Structure 1
Amino acid sequence: MDKIRDKIYDAYHNELGASFGEKVRERIHWIVKNVKGQEILDVGCSQGITSILLGREGKNVLGIDYSSSAIQDALKNLEKEEEETKKHVKFEHCNFFLKEFEKKFDVIILGEVLEHISDINTFFEKTTNLIKDEGLIIVTTPFGINDYIDHKRTFYFKDFLELQINSFGIENITLFGKWIGVIYRKNKEALKIDLKVLEKLEAGFFDVERTLNNEVAELRRKVSKLTEQLENVKKQKEPASNDYKNKYIEEKKEKIKIQEELYNAYSKQEELINNYKKLMDEKEKIQKLYDNLRNSKLGKFQIKYWNMRNKKRRI
């Protein structure tokens, strides 16, 4: 676990690049904004940035992580804070599956945790048992295919619907490009969508996304190879001949072409995610219209009429 270091605190402060930092802050700020209540459990807290931000606002936060190096980083980062913040935040190295908790929480944060879990049902069921009435579980995770080395599963919308257990229903869903945020509330009616239709839709979505990811991987391989070739050319003081110069120019053109193809592949992938979100929004609107019609007087009368008609046909 410690061999794969999560640098979320560093990323938040732009130490891994400004663009990446902006995306990380968008997800973390969304989590912080949606936290309600005083007692917070941050599972998989990593370097502690989310816990620290909540501690600054006077929330009582327990951040836990399976990685000892992550907790060491979190404790060092906490030392940089004001004394008032330190009073509200605690970090602990432990295994969530095995730890026994002495109290329940208003909010449990699972920030990019579920994709690392194999037995997700047991994990999530334990999470629901630690929540107070009307409490929240806030989840963020990569949306769709993410081939990072320690990710054990791919998440689509259907997977989050199936996690509506123990009286927890989905209250909010937000997409952040290749990431998704989901908020579950205790004692809330489950969000209902035809899972069979959704399963077929997402199977097609998976096939398209896998193809795009494979294309991107192949383009990266070509770029890496051409970069290596160009570096070898640069080491030469003078090209030995016009042929060598022409080869250098052609290789540079090819690299630019591949980079353009790589950018286009990423653009297609982003467009696919946006279209999927629009489709899900439209499906939810249609579902609400159908439910409203079905529960109206006219709808009930129409259903009763068709039931009588079908009954006569069978006779």
Structure 2
Amino acid sequence: MKVSIVGATGYGGLELIRLLENHPHFEIASLHTSSTPGRQIYEENPHLMHKEYTLEKINPEEIRKKSELVFLATPSGVSSELAPVFNELGMKVIDLSGDLRLKSSEAFEKWYQHSPAPPEIIQKAVYGLSEWNAGVIRQAQIIANPGCYPTATLLGLAPLYTEKWAVGSDVIVDAKSGVSGAGKSPNATTHYSEMNENFKIYKVHQHQHIPEIEQQLTQWFEGSQPISFSTHLVPITRGIMSTMYVKLRRQTSTAELVDLYKTVYEGHPFVRIQPQGNFPCTKQVYGSNFCDIGIAFDERTNKATIVSVIDNLMKGAAGQAVQNANILFGVEETEGLSNIPVYP
């Protein structure tokens, strides 16, 4: 099956190239950019100097002639314009931006400060949280790939919400990300001298992933209340750690929580539950599509502490996009994604 990537020169697009080049079922038909069309991909990305892809302009009609599926690895505000065009052409679309995730146009405008996509496209888009929405992903025409923070957070919270163990209020999420999550374009925040030996909180109560997380939690548990969600930049390249504190409906134990998570995620090869007393670090999922989760129960507060880690460019972006493409086209979910994490 032939695929195209729009936004091929960003970090998400480059990671898609790496994954699709080694995929047994997908073949890259074309790479597209609005910034440097006509150049070879390796001219700005020397790790690809053995590949001779010419970057092309974004022309949906021409892309339709070459591919069955298009990945939109574009900044927010671009996919909302391109997705309707590709949909009209009958192409399947996987969008890695946040443009199609929120079902409320009003919420999108408030949190993203952009005009939303047409309502019919928003409603048609399926939320691509692979482990939980595989049934609708298989039937989708448009997939809204989840954000990096929401992926780590929702996979960590899902068993407690879907099984109704959580009270559903007073949830605290303390999340941290490496600087590649801010994208490839340099800015003052991600400048080396600003981030090296530094630790920053940002977008306090304003992060655009908050409504995305709350939207999914409400679908799992109707009585879910708003969460407290804080994001931090740490001086690493890749990785997200989301630490969640959740009040439970009853007393339990760490052993019982670990058993719950293992049962819920049985048969989901990319979610690995840590043994009791062990907690994951970002290095153990580096370069992989795994989400590793550790859990503990605090009997003093009757709260569960959940630690969830992913690689933000993999399970938080390109990896989950390929996982969704596998589900969409009916191939084994792990195809092209079974690599061992890079360590150390």
TM-score interval (norm. to shorter): 0.3 to 0.5
Q: Which has the higher contact order (CA 8 A, sep 6+)?
A: 2
Query: TM-score with structure 1 length normalisation?
Result: 0.35
Structure (1 or 2) with the larger CA radius of gyration: 1
